Chain A
């Protein structure tokens, strides 16, 4: 084996940059979360406050609301995207002309900047200009005003995320489906199993690793959604679509409540990890049961 010093020298710049941009900020948040520090306060210097920030967070209605909205949003988009994505993956695996073109078009939203996705949807929903308010009025006699009705704002944000990210689920599930072994499927069909049983007992267990990965990635992305929602609703009306990323940003920047914002960041990070872990346990538990 050649001298490992050369190896370390080659990898050193990468590790150094990631240490400064990734690890240092994390350690910093970890420390500041235990301080009382607001540059607009009477005493703008950081003071150690133990777990006070965390204690306050438990009773912070705005924070809890934001968390609840984030989880609601995540649950809605995850379930819809898995169901729609599975269906679309099945459809895209069919033999048809122009398949490559359809696949490319379907992939387009994944490449668009989230902020531009927000702009696109905003243009679709501006009253007087966008087609959605017009159709809602024309076809359903519904007054559609994003900036006034929380339910409409929430539903639109969910729809936007489905438009933006379902393609990822489609493509991953498609990859999973095309690697399914043919034999057990054939065998089950010969034995006269119903399509539903085949899906439940053969397809799903085989797809599990792919589904798990997809859910992880979508979960982490959904929990940190900021750009497109900011562009579409600005978090409003009121705070009805102010998801956690946006909420943290507001506490840290306009309000300069550094200590409190850091504590909030830590809790969010912690909850993200816990959710991923719970999901993992739930899904591997399911696997045990189906065996």
Chain B
């Protein structure tokens, strides 16, 4: 059957080239703003990169700024600790769910998942009061990295739990039964049977939860003030406080989106399943 032009491969490729340009355009523009000097920013907008006039000053200024160093470090620590914590806890929980006859299992599973669906703005107040109100001497969870690490479990733990549940379910029961027969403890089975087999799944879980934690803004902006601020709150401060330094704003935004963009190719097959809770397999 002869295909018309509308069905042709050439048109399809041209269409997707245009779509990709449209998708990348805002990000490319931001990159351009981040590598242009202030004098080159205004006037007729050009989407061409003038390599000779390119400058890394904005990045240098941001990276040399102690406040931003702190924000970056906080984001790295919070996202990494949260991803590790969540992956470990979720693996244990998924194993329990998969291998033990727990009463009310299905309802429990559903309840765990609903935690991810809740609109965060609704829970800001109680979380704020909880974080500032519960005190051990002078210490409270407010404005601590620990607070954020624990809080980010509310959206990452259900996700990791669901993802790993599917993975642990797929590991044949005979393997751990055999180990139990040989006299292994639950701990040994987890570390020597389940963990090695679940490793690819754990990697995806770790990467995606890391990105979700890194990207979070609303909780971080409300529940920290000076010490534990993250890069996303730093980005927002740029607009409200300094407002006009567009070059540095763009540099910070580029640094904020860079890690997620870098791991994109690794996890893109799992993003759909991740964002729809497996209701749709990508």
Contacts and interface: CB of A to CB of B under 8 A. Distances in A.
Interface of A: 1-2, 4, 6-11, 13-15, 17-18, 20-22, 24-26, 28-29, 32, 88, 91-92, 94-98, 101-116, 119-124, 126, 128-131, 134, 163, 167-168, 171-172, 175-176, 209-210, 213-214, 217, 220, 223-224, 226-227, 230-231, 234, 244-246, 248-249, 252-253, 258, 261-262, 265-266, 268-269, 272
A217 B275 contact: yes
- Top 7 closest pairs, chain A to chain B, by CB: A7-B100, A113-B215, A224-B119, A245-B121, A25-B126, A28-B126, A10-B96
Contacts of B65: none
Contacts of B12: 91, 94, 96
B200 interface: no
Contacts of B130: 24-25, 28
A114 B217 contact: yes
B20 interface: yes
Contact of B239 (A101, A122, A163): A122
A123 B250 contact: yes
Contacts of B61: none
Interface in B183-223: 186, 211, 214-218, 222
Given A18-B112, A29-B123, A213 B279 contact: yes
B224 to A, nearest CB: 13
25 contacts: A11-B92, A13-B92, A13-B93, A25-B123, A29-B122, A91-B19, A95-B9, A102-B20, A107-B268, A113-B232, A115-B256, A116-B235, A116-B256, A119-B238, A119-B239, A119-B253, A123-B30, A123-B253, A172-B280, A172-B282, A224-B120, A234-B240, A248-B122, A253-B128, A265-B122
Nearest to B279: A213
Best-buried of A95, A101, A105 by chain B (most CB within 10 Å): A105
B5 interface: no
A215 to B, nearest CB: 11
A17 B112 CA distance: 11
Contacts of B272: 168, 171-172, 175
A11 to B, nearest CB: 4
Given A14-B93, A113-B214, A227-B218, A269 B153 contact: no
Contact of B27 (A102, A108, A126): A108
Contacts of A124: 26, 29
The secondary structure that dominates the A interface is helix
Contacts of A105: 20, 23-24
B175 interface: no
B226 interface: no
B167 interface: no
A120 B118 contact: no
Interface string B79-114: 000000000011011011101111100001000101
A168 B275 contact: yes
Best-buried of A24, A25, A119 by chain B (most CB within 10 Å): A119
Contacts of B218: 226-227, 245, 249
Given A172-B280, A224-B121, A17 B89 contact: yes
Contact of B271 (A111, A248, A272): A111
B125 A14 contact: no
Interface stretch (B38-46, B50-58, B66-74): B38-46
Contacts of A171: 271-272, 280, 282
A24 B126 contact: yes
Nearest to A269: B122
Contact of A131 (B24, B45, B118): B45
A63 to B, nearest CB: 13
Contacts of A223: 119
Given A29-B123, A258-B125, A1 B157 contact: no
Best-buried of B102, B265, B276 by chain A (most CB within 10 Å): B276
Given A94-B7, A230-B236, 14 more contacts: A6-B96, A11-B102, A14-B112, A25-B127, A25-B130, A26-B123, A96-B13, A112-B260, A120-B27, A134-B45, A171-B272, A245-B119, A249-B124, A253-B222
Contacts of B23: 105-106, 108-109, 163, 167
A18 B240 CA distance: 33
B78 interface: no
